């Protein structure tokens, strides 16, 4: 992490390190990554947050504890996935929706959602929080300040405005 300052959020196509730590049941690594500034509500290419992955695996030993830990740290259970499987399972899914269709598991997840309902939810990060090029061009600290709907100018789109002499696209251009 000292050699790659973007490691904690960088997504190389299968999710961020936090997604991997969740998938491979590494609670100590989840704790470390969050303490280093990882984004708890970062989405992968299917729109899954780490909470979605924990819910998806909740029927296996240890994942309910990870789900609970993520909830205690401000993970937002109201974030929906992308329409990642439009043929077999169409629609946008909450973490609860990707969990095994087992009433006992879903009941436990609902109980945890209620238990941590008053924990302040962490905002959703900008979708480019995992993009190496965006992180390289703007820096992690800058990207972390962007609202999830912010549209930043890509360096390839930059131009010199003849009116304001700016180097980014201005509203009048």
CA distances from 79 to 82, 100, 138, 158 (A): 10, 18, 26, 32
CA angle 47, 32, 3 (to 5 degrees): 90
CA angle 16, 71, 85 (to 5 degrees): 55
CA distances from 69 to 31, 41, 73, 139, 170 (A): 9, 13, 6, 28, 43
- Output 48 or 1, whichever has higher pLDDT: 48
Name the percent of the chain lying above pLDDT 70: 87
What token pair was written down for 72? 């205690």
Range name among 25-29, 102-106, 155-159 with the lowest pLDDT average: 155-159
Q: What is the CATH number of domain 17-115?
A: 1.25.40.20
- Write down the domain spans for the chain: 17-115
pLDDT of residue 164: 46
Mean pLDDT of the chain: 88
């Amino acid at each position: 992490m000292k050699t790659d300052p973007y490691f904690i959020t960088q997504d190389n196509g299968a999710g961020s390190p936090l997604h991997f730590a969740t998938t491979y049941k590494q609670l100590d690594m989840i704790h470390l990554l969050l303490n280093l500034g990882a984004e708890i509500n970062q989405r992968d290419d299917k729109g899954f947050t780490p909470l979605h992955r924990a819910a998806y695996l909740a029927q296996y030993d240890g994942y309910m504890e990870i789900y609970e830990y993520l909830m205690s740290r401000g993970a937002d259970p109201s974030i929906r996935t992308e329409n990642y499987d439009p043929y077999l399972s169409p629609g946008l899914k909450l973490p609860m929706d990707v969990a095994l269709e087992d009433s006992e598991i879903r009941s436990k997840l609902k109980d945890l959602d209620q238990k941590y309902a008053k924990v302040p939810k962490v905002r959703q990060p900008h979708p480019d929080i995992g993009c190496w090029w965006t992180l390289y061009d703007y820096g992690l600290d800058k990207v972390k300040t962007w609202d999830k709907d912010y549209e930043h100018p890509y360096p390839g789109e930059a131009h010199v405005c003849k009116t304001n002499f700016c180097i980014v696209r201005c509203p009048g251009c």
